[in-house]
Chains A and B, each alone.
Chain A
Amino acid sequence: MIMTEEISAQAIPAKRRFAYDFYTLVTVILLSLYGCLIIYSATGFGNIALAVDPSYFLRRQLIFFLTGMIIFVILSFFDYSKIKRYWIPLYLFNIVILIFVLFLGQSIRSSTSWLGWGIFKLQPSEFAKIWIILSYAAFLSERKGQISTFKDFLYSILHFGVPIFLIILQPDLGTASVYIGILLGMMFVAGVRFLFIGLAALLGGLSIFIVVRFGFIKDYIVKRFMVFLNPNIDPFGAGYNLAQSKIAIGSGQIYGKGLFLGTQTNLNYIPEHHTDFVFSVIGEELGLVGAMILIALYVVLVWRCFFVARRSRDLFGAYICVGVASLLICQSFVNIGMTIGLMPITGIPLPFISAGGSSLISFLIAFGLVESVYVRNRRNIPY
């Protein structure tokens, strides 16, 4: 019943039967293509073109998609368990990169999260999500997949706390909140006591209060949050995005205004409608039906993550899947939530859909790893 770390995937002789989770493969392809279509609609049809060439963003996204798929396929055949023993260097590398971003990164929309030169730009915090899932999964697997002591709990907090702190400094509260989501999801499955979480929440709340009270957080972030709590306070300032996004989504009704026919988005009423607010394009043009198709695809992926996690024969693989599921649930909820007024406005992309290479490729890496866990653990098991 209790399988320990020592029995790794390699330890079991391989059968020749080819095993591959086509659910995951097909779903990530569908989601990515859905994203390309929506990005084309968001950028290629506006009266105010975001680029000279209407298909500019579409072509870029397709290139990212192809790059990501190649990585996905390679990873799926790669033995993920080899990463485990390098988790400490991986973790440190992650921290160094995030520090690097702080000092050398480029600011976009008052948040310094980009690193790179010329056309080759990366958002390391997108990839950092994967690295931290890997390092924390390794951390958990070394503790038999359980956080039973307060010391382990503190280590977990520290494990996430350092990168979260660096990301808050960028400042990128959206990404930071996703990190917290991943931590909570993985700790939860690892059986953490609720008392610990309650304690941490109390301390967190207190520190947020102190930070806001003494002005360590930029005004616009506080303002955005206030607007979230009361969207009518500033309809042409900070509440503008939310108000317009709700109008866009609401006006889509059940079947939407039709692909490429969204007036709110095409007339550029919603800023960032190809990136952070891309969900409003789906809501407006494809309606409730389009939104539910997206959510259904997410549900399939979450289901596959849990499916693979439960059947994984090593804890490292299982926790990778749990982490990826947490990431997907948390990030999609925070993003969709902000466009429909359930969550404060933060600048995080919608998984697989938002334009941008770092986000799409990092999600393809994440699911490439899930696929790898499936392949490694499925191979030997007859149906």
Chain B
Amino acid sequence: MKELAALEEKSEVRLRLFSYFGIALFLVVFLRLWYLQVMMGDDFAGISEQNRIKTVSIRAMRGNIYDRYGNTLVANRPSIAVTAVPAIVLKNENEMIILSDLLDIPFDEIKGKLEKGLVHPLDGIILKNSIDDETAAKIADRKVNLPGVIIEPEIFRFYPNGSLAAHILGYIGPISDEQLADPKMSGKYVSGDVIGKSGLEMYYESYLRGQPGYYTIEVNPAGYPIRNIDKVDSIPGNNIHTTLDLDMQRYVEERLAIGIEDIRGKIDEKTKEPFKATGGAAVVLDATNGEILAMASYPSYDPSLFVEGISQKNWDMLNDPENNYPLNNRVIMPYAPASTFKVVTLLTSLMYGIIDETGVVICRGVWDGLGKGYEKYCWNRVGHGAVDVLRSLEQSCDIFYYTMGLEIYRKRGEEGEILQKVARMLGFGTPTGVDLPFESSGRVPDLKWKKKFNKQNSQNALWYAGDTVNIAIGQGDLLATPLQVAELYLQIANRGEKFQPHFLSWIESYDGKVVKYYEPVMNRPVDIDVNLFETEVKGLARVTVNGTAMEAFAGFPLDQHPVAAKTGTSEVLGKQNFSWIASFSPVQEPKYVVVVMVEEGGSGGGVAAKIARQIYDYLYKINL
């Protein structure tokens, strides 16, 4: 039969070669299949499952925040959002045109948003929040033309009182990439989750957030769910009950704002320019337990700007120096405490026997304790004459405290840095531990600090008498937050007993079970004699009657509601004076501690004392 074949010998050989080639090709296919199905099979099986099964997290409703009487400070509101699946919608230009038309968003903006979302192409991107029913209906009507577009309810943070207590509540925003990278967060959060960025929202994030649930769904490649496989419900976050008093908060914020805005027009005697009054802070504590009843910082902002994602324009506005940084909570930022610190100097002097309750210093308006050529002056250039311990507080006589400061400095050989030691005992230099993030610890300068701070400049790395003298009147490098000052006066009011300032009252679960009560933190510095505090209280009580705050408290029924106070006027290089007052009332068995600070607002007896007086008017329901 071979003889009958038509193909030549040469072609026969080639035919054979060709068949080998064919077999080789099939072998290549086999080897590739072996690689894909046998070697990589498990991997691909896993991918195939992931492909098919998608977990969609269900965000938990964030907990509410209430004031002490149960008034709502922060809650949630539902809103209808339009979301689009980038992988589908981006392919369809016509669809984007329809969406642009229906939602009134420029075409390019829609495209840009979706392209940004292509990292997770099957997860919906919110195109627009809070659409009205009419738009929702229009979109539903055109559903056929809009594959990959979903209308769904979203829940947003809601502030029924507007910007009230904005600094305390804080704002929320999408979790940042840095936070996501943090191993502590990454397991619990996914990209796009909302997280507290400041204030109580941030401090109590873990309580407020709740437990997200999830759907396990089978999806088709377009991202459409085909059927639900599993659902785990989310658990709403816990509600926070705070110590704040909504009405008082509103009042304090108002008075602070009005007080600051009023003084802005007035001329500063010292600089002969109108007061800049760039900002201020006020805080009201319950003296008996450290509860914060009101805390105001000026200027303020509207936290609802952040709810649906803050616009660049608004963000720039909030960070523009022209606007004096409204996001800052000035109550927990460091300032020179000025004369409000004199109580610490006096306490130190009494404790270490530098002066006793009968001691007197003569004030002639000028003091040369540091030597000729280094004269220092009292704020009252005329001089106060003979100044005893109580009068030193009443008149806030600087010469008295320079003298104390110098004596304290001289004792450093045998006793060490006693002024700093006492200041720290009373809470300076460490955060108060209030339940807010970003609290400053202030600064208590000492030799060690100075050495470190002036590493490059050995001349300044020494501790001079003048340093102690400056601290003695609350100036120099000493820094304290208004809240630390409030804490100091709370201790004086309680004759040494200290309560941590706090907002938390209790935390309850969404269904009303108490999760946690506030645990009081109370202590007293063991080294300080109660009687020394009594002496100070006596002096402070005279400040509103005859002293530096007399003018501000004119007409106030001090006989019924005695107020102990200390004003302060801090000098800041290149700026106008900062105005301070720290106070408590009543003098016996105090109920309230009030601290007010106004940046570049003049002397303490002026604007700060005036605002404090108005707050007491409110607290005692006078002239209202």
Chain A residues with Cβ below 8 Å from B30 are 292, 295
B: interface residue count bin: 35 or more
A367 to chain B, nearest CB (A): 16
Contact of B15 with A288 in the complex, beta carbons under 8 Å: no
Contact of A253 with B45 in the complex, beta carbons under 8 Å: yes
- Beyond A1-B3, A236-B121, A269-B51, is A299–B26 a contact (Cβ under 8 Å)? yes
Contact of B226 with A267 in the complex, beta carbons under 8 Å: yes
A378 to chain B, nearest CB (A): 10
Contact of B32 with A342 in the complex, beta carbons under 8 Å: yes
Q: Which of B1, B51, B218, B226 contacts A264 (CB 8 A)?
A: B51
- Beyond A3-B5, A267-B221, is A340–B33 a contact (Cβ under 8 Å)? yes
- Cα(A263)–Cα(B48), bound, Å: 8
Chain B residues with Cβ below 8 Å from A317 are 6
Does A311 have its Cβ within 8 Å of any Cβ on chain B? Answer: yes
A60 to chain B, nearest CB (A): 24
Contact of B10 with A191 in the complex, beta carbons under 8 Å: yes
B223 to chain A, nearest CB (A): 11
What are 29 A-B residue pairs whose CB atoms fall within 8 Å in the complex? A144-B8, A145-B8, A185-B18, A191-B11, A244-B221, A246-B44, A249-B44, A250-B40, A250-B43, A250-B45, A250-B47, A251-B47, A252-B37, A253-B37, A253-B42, A263-B48, A264-B51, A264-B52, A283-B33, A288-B34, A292-B30, A299-B22, A302-B22, A313-B4, A313-B5, A337-B29, A341-B32, A342-B32, A377-B4
Does B28 have its Cβ within 8 Å of any Cβ on chain A? Answer: yes
Does A306 have its Cβ within 8 Å of any Cβ on chain B? Answer: yes
Contact of B6 with A188 in the complex, beta carbons under 8 Å: no
Contact of B37 with A145 in the complex, beta carbons under 8 Å: no
Contact of A295 with B6 in the complex, beta carbons under 8 Å: no
Contact of A342 with B28 in the complex, beta carbons under 8 Å: yes
Chain A residues with Cβ below 8 Å from B49 are 263
Measured CB to CB, the nearest residue on chain A to B87 is A236
Measured CB to CB, the nearest residue on chain B to A315 is B6
Contact of A283 with B37 in the complex, beta carbons under 8 Å: yes
B548 to chain A, nearest CB (A): 72
A-side residues, CB < 8 A to B, are 1-3, 47-48, 144-146, 185, 188-191, 236, 244, 246-254, 263-264, 267-269, 283-284, 287-288, 291-292, 295, 298-299, 302-303, 306, 309-315, 317-318, 322, 325-326, 329, 333, 336-337, 340-342, 377, 381
B26 to chain A, nearest CB (A): 5
Chain B residues with Cβ below 8 Å from A244 are 51, 221
B398 to chain A, nearest CB (A): 73
Contact of A250 with B226 in the complex, beta carbons under 8 Å: no
Measured CB to CB, the nearest residue on chain A to B227 is A47
Most chain A beta-carbon contacts within 10 A, residue among B3, B218, B221? B221
- Cα(A288)–Cα(B34), bound, Å: 7
Chain A residues with Cβ below 8 Å from B368 are none
Contact of A250 with B37 in the complex, beta carbons under 8 Å: yes
Chain B residues with Cβ below 8 Å from A381 are 1, 4
- Cα(A266)–Cα(B25), bound, Å: 30
Does B23 have its Cβ within 8 Å of any Cβ on chain A? Answer: yes
Does B557 have its Cβ within 8 Å of any Cβ on chain A? Answer: no
Does B619 have its Cβ within 8 Å of any Cβ on chain A? Answer: no
Q: Which of A144, A248, A322, A340 contacts B29 (CB 8 A)?
A: A340
Contact of B28 with A312 in the complex, beta carbons under 8 Å: no
Most chain A beta-carbon contacts within 10 A, residue among B32, B34, B37, B87? B37
Per-residue 0/1 for B205-227: is the Cβ within 8 Å of any A Cβ (1 yes, 0 no)? 00000000000001111000010
Chain B residues with Cβ below 8 Å from A326 are 18
A306 to chain B, nearest CB (A): 5
Per-residue 0/1 for B102-123: is the Cβ within 8 Å of any A Cβ (1 yes, 0 no)? 0000000000000000100100
- Beyond A48-B220, A189-B14, is A313–B51 a contact (Cβ under 8 Å)? no
B123 to chain A, nearest CB (A): 13
Q: Which of A144, A298, A306, A341 contacts B19 (CB 8 A)?
A: A306
- Cα(A314)–Cα(B5), bound, Å: 7
Measured CB to CB, the nearest residue on chain B to A330 is B25
- Cα(A318)–Cα(B15), bound, Å: 10
Contact of B52 with A189 in the complex, beta carbons under 8 Å: no
- Cα(A248)–Cα(B51), bound, Å: 10
- Cα(A338)–Cα(B581), bound, Å: 81
B88 to chain A, nearest CB (A): 10
Contact of A342 with B29 in the complex, beta carbons under 8 Å: yes
Contact of A253 with B47 in the complex, beta carbons under 8 Å: no
B242 to chain A, nearest CB (A): 48
Chain B residues with Cβ below 8 Å from A283 are 33, 36-37
Chain A residues with Cβ below 8 Å from B262 are none
Chain A residues with Cβ below 8 Å from B43 are 250
Does B7 have its Cβ within 8 Å of any Cβ on chain A? Answer: yes
Chain B residues with Cβ below 8 Å from A287 are 37
Chain B residues with Cβ below 8 Å from A146 are 8, 10-11
B207 to chain A, nearest CB (A): 39
Chain A residues with Cβ below 8 Å from B44 are 246-247, 249-251, 253
Most chain A beta-carbon contacts within 10 A, residue among B5, B38, B51? B5
Contact of B38 with A254 in the complex, beta carbons under 8 Å: yes
B307 to chain A, nearest CB (A): 32
Chain B residues with Cβ below 8 Å from A325 are 18, 22
Measured CB to CB, the nearest residue on chain A to B219 is A267
Chain B residues with Cβ below 8 Å from A310 are 5, 7, 12, 15
- Cα(A121)–Cα(B39), bound, Å: 43
Measured CB to CB, the nearest residue on chain A to B86 is A236
Does B153 have its Cβ within 8 Å of any Cβ on chain A? Answer: no
Measured CB to CB, the nearest residue on chain A to B29 is A336
- Beyond A2-B8, A189-B14, is A291–B220 a contact (Cβ under 8 Å)? no
Q: Which of A236, A295, A318 contacts B26 (CB 8 A)?
A: A295
- Cα(A287)–Cα(B36), bound, Å: 10
- Cα(A236)–Cα(B123), bound, Å: 13
Q: Which of B28, B33, B34, B47 contacts A247 (CB 8 A)?
A: B47
Contact of A333 with B25 in the complex, beta carbons under 8 Å: yes
- Cα(A298)–Cα(B118), bound, Å: 42
- Cα(A189)–Cα(B5), bound, Å: 14
Does B41 have its Cβ within 8 Å of any Cβ on chain A? Answer: yes
Chain B residues with Cβ below 8 Å from A253 are 37-38, 41-42, 44-45
Chain B residues with Cβ below 8 Å from A251 are 41, 44-45, 47-48
- Cα(A287)–Cα(B38), bound, Å: 9
Extra contacts, 11 of them, besides A189-B11, A236-B121, A254-B38 (Cβ < 8 A), are A3-B5, A3-B6, A189-B7, A189-B18, A252-B41, A264-B48, A269-B52, A291-B37, A311-B4, A315-B6, A340-B29
- Beyond A250-B44, A250-B45, is A267–B33 a contact (Cβ under 8 Å)? no
Contact of B4 with A247 in the complex, beta carbons under 8 Å: no
Measured CB to CB, the nearest residue on chain B to A383 is B1
- Cα(A325)–Cα(B87), bound, Å: 42
Contact of B226 with A47 in the complex, beta carbons under 8 Å: yes
Contact of B18 with A267 in the complex, beta carbons under 8 Å: no
Contact of A267 with B218 in the complex, beta carbons under 8 Å: yes
Q: Which of A2, A268, A284, A303 contacts B220 (CB 8 A)?
A: A268
Measured CB to CB, the nearest residue on chain B to A12 is B4
Q: Which of A269, A288, A299, A341 contacts B221 (CB 8 A)?
A: A269
Q: Which of A191, A247, A311 contacts B51 (CB 8 A)?
A: A247
Chain B residues with Cβ below 8 Å from A247 are 44, 47-48, 51
Chain B residues with Cβ below 8 Å from A47 are 220, 226
- Cα(A288)–Cα(B33), bound, Å: 7
Contact of B4 with A145 in the complex, beta carbons under 8 Å: no
A20 to chain B, nearest CB (A): 17
Chain B residues with Cβ below 8 Å from A340 are 29, 32-33, 36
Chain B residues with Cβ below 8 Å from A336 are 29
Chain B residues with Cβ below 8 Å from A2 are 8
Q: Which 5 A-B pairs have the closest CB atoms?
A: A250-B44, A253-B41, A251-B48, A250-B36, A251-B45
